[in-house]
Amino acid sequence: MKPRQKRMALIVGGLITLGVSTALVMNALNSNIAFFFSPTEAAAGKAPQNKAFRIGGMVKEGSIRRDNLTVHFTITDTAKEVPVSYTGILPDLFKEGKGAVAQGRINPDGTFAATEVLAKHDENYMPPEAQYALDEASKASTKTK
């Protein structure tokens, strides 16, 4: 093999290796992405049915029920509500009337099966996505009145 052919084979091999490694990294990142949807968007069917996503808003007053380690509650953006079930230990700051974000999948019956629940960290904080969803829902509800 001539030196020119060796160089060309090395360049082609490097490009193939780079392409394969880029494809593997992109696949790994894509499988770990969880997009945010408000309860209004989830109720409208905009949320994926077969993929994990995040849903956030306020925990509805009086909606928390406990069955051993499973907790059932409702997330609302003041326009729509989504029932959530979570098996595990909730964060200490998780309370009714406070902001929360849950990650998981929506079941065929419309219940959101959460694998992770995040709560606000102080009295003034709400996840930006949840705050935006609440603001949009309140704008929509004032337009309809």
The reply to whether 121 sits in an annotated binding site is yes
Neighbour-count burial of 58, counting CB atoms closer than 10 A to its CB (0-12 exposed, 13-18 middle, 19+ buried): buried
The reply to whether 72 sits in an annotated binding site is no
Residue listed under structure tokens 């490009």: 15
Distance of CA 117 to the CA centre of its chain: 10
Of 105, 130, 136, which is closest to residue 118 (Cα–Cα)? 130
Of 94, 119, 118, 106, which is closest to residue 39 (Cα–Cα)? 106
- Reading the block at residue 7, the tokens are 């160089």
Terminal CA-CA length for the chain: 80
Strand 36-37 versus strand 99-106 pairing type: unpaired
Residues flagged as binding site: 121, 125
Residues flagged as binding site for heme: 121, 125
